[in-house]
Each structure stands twice: as structure tokens, then as C-alpha cells.
Structure 1
């Protein structure tokens, strides 16, 4: 189900048919370094993770992380969207793209559209985001999107701290 369209991208809901792509994304070294190692190693595990993750989020919250693909050819390049996490008061925007698509403006294009969608369609009045302390590139993109660094906060379940950003929309 298509959610958004930009000049170069289509953002749509993930389906279990996206398992091979999501398996590649989740096991990319940049994902593991900057987000987490989900321990998903097979297409079947990826299908299950999509069903219990993105698809469940769409049903529960009406939003989630959308598969982002190139309009030209329908090639999946990453994900972008919102999560509702127990440890944050506001929904948080997030994005992740395969490294071969970095530096082309896709993350900014997708995240800008998602932010506007959050405000105009979902009715958000405030949007949060967080990054690992080391992830400077994502922090710069969040600031370009209008979010401002607030503080370092503990990430639940571990010793790691993350950089919290937010913006009123």
C-alpha cells in the first residue's frame, strides 16, 4: 500500500514479500553498527520479523517504517517512517538506507516527506528522533530536517546512551 510519493521515491507499507530486501538491510554492517543486530539470518526469519514488527505497528498505531523504493524501476533502497517507543513520549522518525544509495539525497527526500505526512495526515504536533552517539551523519540529517538536539538519554536495556532530538510541527 503506497503511503507517499516524492519526485524520485515511493514509500509504501512493508509486506512479508519484502523479506529478502529487509534481510539484506538488517545485516548490512552500517545497520548493525548504527542501529542493532536483530539476529535475523534467513528469509523466513525476516518474514516473521516484518509480520511482528512493521505490519503489527501499522495495525496498532496506523504508521510505521515504510519501504522506500526508487520510482524508476521499483528498486528498494531503504526504510523511512515513524515508530512509537515506550521510552519516548512522541513518535520518532527514523531512516536507514543501503550504503550504495547514500549521498544521493534519498534519505532527506524520504524523511522530509514523512515529516510532512506526520504533521498533516497523522496529526503529530511534535516529532522525536534519536541516534547513537557516534552516528554523526544521521544527526546532521536530523538537524537539516529541523530537529534539534535535546540531550543524551539512556537507551533501555543496555549501557548505551543515545542523542535525543525533537521538533514541534
Structure 2
């Protein structure tokens, strides 16, 4: 595990298979399923496999991924934040998700702001995307507060519901 980004209260680090229990809990949280999607991961082994084939593979292949948000004060994994390159989007997109007990405390904002800085200064990315469910008011507001502009409401390939597509240019 490698720390990629640090903020006042958080370390954003690479995910490992040791994070499978945390990951399993996060992707099965009702808010994750409603606002992001049901990944269909129901066991620790499925969580490990998804970590290996998803964030770990992306980190190795393209140099970035979703990172575990850990509180500095106690090392508690509280969510994910990072960058995702989806085949369905032209630009790299910022993603974040928190366990329910850690929402509303500014952690997503803190992590996302630092991720924007990292994308621009370290990865030299000039434009990012952000996608949210139109019904996810908090996530839509966060993207707008960070400076993202709503570009379109789209239906992503392989999905059947509307998605707000935001853009951010450095």
C-alpha cells in the first residue's frame, strides 16, 4: 500500500486485498447501490477479486485509480476517492463514496479537492468528468462547489438510467 495524497485529515492510499472487508461493506451500502450501482459483490472473495481486477489493475496499468480514504487520526478506512478511466466516458472521471457514518463531515470535499490538485499537478490531466445520479443532491452539489459544470444528462452505455455528466477544466 502506498500513500498517494495527503490532506489535513486524510491519507488517500492504494487499495489492497487486505481492504476486502471494508470494500465489501462500502459497495453494499444502500446509498452506494442507489447512487452508484449494485456491483453484485456479496462475499469477501468477490471483493478481493474486484479489488484486483479494478483499482489494483488500473493503478498498475494507467497510474491512477480509486484510493482508500483513511483518517489520519486512527487509520480508519472511511471511503474511496480517486480517478477512474471508463470506456463509456471521453475524460477521466473523479469518483468518491463514503461509508454512511462518515458522510456530512466534509471528508468527500477534502478528498475530492486534493484529488483535483493531484490530477492536474502530478498526472497533467487538463479536463476531468464527474458523474452522478440526478437524484443524488449532495453529490451534485459537491461537484458544483468544486467548480464542475453540468454538461449533459446522459444514459451511459450498459445502463438504463439518467446520469448527470459534469466537466471540469484546469
- Per the alignment, residue 111 of structure 1 pairs with 112
Compute the displacement of 1:99 (Å).
Answer: 1.1
CA distance in 2, matches of 1:163, 1:96: 16
5+ residue gaps, structure 1, are none
Compute the displacement of 1:159 (Å).
Answer: 2.0
CA distance in 1, matches of 2:35, 2:110: 20
- 1:33 paired to 2:43: no
* Structure 1 residue ranges, 4+ long, deviating more than 2 angstroms after superposition: none
- Per the alignment, residue 135 of structure 1 pairs with 136
Compute the displacement of 1:152 (Å).
Answer: 0.5
Total equivalences in the alignment:
169
- Per the alignment, residue 62 of structure 1 pairs with 63
- Per the alignment, residue 98 of structure 2 pairs with 97
- Per the alignment, residue 153 of structure 1 pairs with 154
The TM-score normalised by the length of structure 1 is 0.98
5+ residue gaps, structure 2, are none
- 1:12 paired to 2:48: no
CA distance in 2, matches of 1:33, 1:131: 11
Compute the displacement of 1:89 (Å).
Answer: 1.1
- Per the alignment, residue 46 of structure 2 pairs with 45
CA distance in 2, matches of 1:34, 1:161: 11
Indicate the SS of the match to 1:68.
Answer: strand
- 1:166 paired to 2:167: yes
Indicate the SS of the match to 1:32.
Answer: helix
Deviations 1:15-37 (A, max 9, x none): 00000000000110000110111
> C-alpha root-mean-square deviation of aligned residues, in Å?
0.7
Deviations 1:74-118 (A, max 9, x none): 000000000001121110001000111011100000000000000
Indicate the SS of the match to 1:144.
Answer: helix
Indicate the SS of the match to 2:12.
Answer: strand
The TM-score normalised by the length of structure 2 is 0.97
